[in-house]
Structures are given as structure tokens and as C-alpha cells.
Amino acid sequence: MSTPRTVEVPASLAASYAGAFGDTGTAWIAALPALAASLLDRWELRRDGPPGSGEAALVLPVVRADGTRAVLRLQLPREETAAALIGLRTWNGAGMVRLLDHDPGSGTLLLERLGSRSLASVEDDDEAMRVLAGILRRLVSVPAPEGLRSLGDIAAGMLDEAPRAAGALADPAERRLLRGWASAVAELAGEPGDRMLHWDLHYDNVLAAEREPWLAIDPEPLAGDPGFDLWPALDSRWDDVVAKGGPSRVVRRRFDLLTEALGLDRERAAGWTLGRLLQNALWDIEDGSAALDPAAVAMAEALRGR
């Protein structure tokens, strides 16, 4: 059966956009089939299977006129969209999916097609984490080019925000915890680093491939210290980690493996990871939350006892 010409937007993607962006999100989703159709035409692409999606992107498998398999990746343009383009160009396929073309108007990317299996399908956690660490090591070995957000600016913004955010937490123990994360960032903020970070390298963002066994997708690059890039890996398949009863044990094992593979100073890497917990918490508090995410509290505890 041939793939229909009109793009079906998965309900989960529509719900995610309505939740995250309200009317803007709903309007963007409504316009998505027409945008996809115009790009399929302009780039002479034939659809080749049902659409995929994550939280942010609609991903259409396609075949180019010359027979190459690719995917069309559509996403509401944000600051990170420009950063993703810089990252894809700078990494130029090394450890990362290749960029084939892009549409500046809509921020749509035409990417090399990778496999359907992600690292989340690799059950042995050491094996999955070793693959992720190997890719992350290559990605963060690249100096950041001009034009990316910097961890120095992000850290300064967080330190500005933290006192007020702490006041919004209901539990005094959680307020102390959040202030502690901010202190850890304050100690490191003077040396924010200059590598190109992926920012979101977790198991679902590493796909099986042909020209290399595994490649990364979905970068939201910034310039900074590689220690700030460990959290998505430490947090990967968290529900499983909790279900197996050992968040502390698993986090410490993953942290040891990652810091060893990347040759990172453990103290600094732990501090920057608390910085990621702070960044997430500040977003949650801005969205109206008055409590910390239990997973973040568990991870901070695991790092403290490492």
C-alpha cells in the first residue's frame, strides 16, 4: 500500500504542542500538513512510510529523486533550531546524523535516514552507556563555533533566578537543596568551558545506523563544559532505573563510566550535573510547580554519595 499524500499528524505530537505552546502550538500543528506537502514538492521527495515523532518534531521517512533514503524533520522554529543547524554543520556527520538540506523559512531539516532502533532497545545498561559515552566523547571534542548560546550566560541567568525560585518551593528542605545546586553552579560559573555540547543526548537520541553502528540525532547545541552534558544520559530510561530499585547504584555506575570515558574531573562533572537539575527545576517552577521532581532529588542524592 502506498503512503498517503496528506500528512497525518500523530495525536501525541498535537497534544504536546497544545500543552507546551497553547494557541501558537495548535496553529502550527494545523498548518503542518500544508508545510510538509510544500517541502515534499519543492525537494522532490517521495514519502516512504508512516510519520514518526518525539515531543517536538514530526519526522517523515522520504526518498529523494536520486533514490537516497532521508527523513524530513519539521519543528516549530525556536532559538534551539538555529543552534541545531550550526551543530549539524559543524559536526558534519562525525558521530552525528548528516544534514542533507534545510529550509531557512520554516527551520525544516532534511536528514540522512537512520535505523528505527535506538539505544533504548539495548537492555544491558553498561553496553548502552558505553556506546553513548563513545559518541558523546567525540561530539564534545569539537570546539564550539561562533553563534551558540554559552553555558556562561546560562549559568549567570540561573544564578540570577535561583533565589526567587527557591522561595517558591513549599518544603524548606527542598529550598535548601535548590540553593545548594545554585552554590555548586556559582563555584563553576567562572570557567564555563568552550566545547560544543549536544545538550540532550539520551538513549532515544542515539539511533542504529549503517555508515557507523550508532549515530546521534536531535542536538540542541551550546558552548560549554562537557560536565553539563551528562544529565540526559544519567536520566535515561529513569522509570526502569527506579523499577529495578537502584537509582543510586545505577546513577553512580553511569557517572563513573561517563566521567572515565570522557576523562572529566569528577567534582566538576558532578557540579555541572547539579546545574542541569537546577535548570530543570527553574523551568518547572516557572511553570507553577512548588516542589522538586523526585527524580532530581534522587539523582542529587546519588551524586552526593558517589
Ligand X SMILES: Nc1ncnc2c1ncn2[C@@H]1O[C@H](COP(=O)(O)OP(=O)(O)O)[C@@H](O)[C@H]1O
- All three cell numbers of 277, joined, read 537539575
Which window, 105-113, 119-127, 163-171, 245-253, contacts ligand X (CB under 6 A)? 105-113
Q: 3-state DSSP call for residue 306? A: coil
Least Å from the CB of residue 24 to ligand X: 17
Cell numbers 532559538 correspond to 79
Binds Mg ion (CB under 5 A): choice among 33, 49, 52, 54: 54
Q: Which residue is catalytic, options 41, 124, 200, 225?
A: 200
Write the burial class of residue 62 (CB in 10 Å: 0-12 exposed, 13-18 middle, 19+ buried).
buried
Residue with cell 547504584: 249
Local structure of 234: helix, strand or coil: helix
List the Cα angle 127/254/178 in 5-degree steps.
150
Q: Is 200 a catalytic residue?
A: yes
Largest Cα–Cα distance of the chain, in whole Å?
Answer: 62
Q: What would the grid cell of residue 287 be?
A: 511553570
- What is the number of other CB atoms lying within 10 angstroms of the CB of residue 234? 22
Considering the rule CB under 6 A, would residue 39 count as an interface residue with ligand X? no
Nearer to ligand X, 74 or 169 (CB): 74
Pick the binder of ligand X from 49, 52, 77, 180 (CB under 6 A).
52
Q: Distance of CA 211 to CAs 13, 86, 137, 165, 204, Å?
A: 30, 22, 18, 46, 19
Q: Please select the residue that binds Mg ion; options are 218, 220, 225, 229, rule is CB under 5 A.
A: 218
> Cβ–Cβ contacts within 10 Å for residue 279, how many?
19
Phi, psi (rounded to 5 degrees) for 78: -140, 180
Residues that bind ligand X (rule: CB under 6 A) add up to a total of: 19
Minimum CB–partner distance for residue 218 and Mg ion (Å): 4
Please identify, among the stretches 173-181, 203-211, 230-238, 252-260, the one whose residues bind ligand X according to the rule CB under 6 A: 203-211
CB of 288 to Mg ion, least distance (A): 25
Binding characters for Mg ion, 161-200, by CB under 5 A (x = yes)? ----------------------------------------
Reported in sequence order, the residue ranges of the chain that DSSP labels E, i.e. its strands, are 46-47, 52-53, 57-63, 69-75, 99-103, 108-112, 195-197, 206-208, 214-216, 222-224
Binding status of residue 97 toward ligand X by CB under 6 A: yes
29 binds ligand X (CB under 6 A): no
Tell me which residue of 295, 143, 301, 160 sits closest to 232, measured CA to CA: 295
How many CB atoms are closer than 10 A to CB 76? 18
Place of cell 533514490: 67
| Bridge partners, residue 61, by sequence | 71
Q: Which of 90, 108, 205, 279 binds ligand X (CB under 6 A)?
A: 205
Considering only 99-107, 181-189, 203-211, 254-262, which stretch makes contact with Mg ion by CB under 5 A? 203-211
Question: Which string of x and - marks every residue 57-96 that binds ligand X (by CB under 6 A)?
Answer: x-x-----------x-x-----------------------
- Region binding ligand X by CB under 6 A among candidate stretches 46-54, 134-142, 243-251, 281-289: 46-54
Could you say whether residue 204 binds ligand X (CB under 6 A)? yes
List of residues contacting ligand X (CB under 6 A) = 52-57, 59, 71, 73, 97, 111-114, 204-205, 207, 217-218
Residues forming the active site:
200
List of residues contacting Mg ion (CB under 5 A) = 54, 205, 218
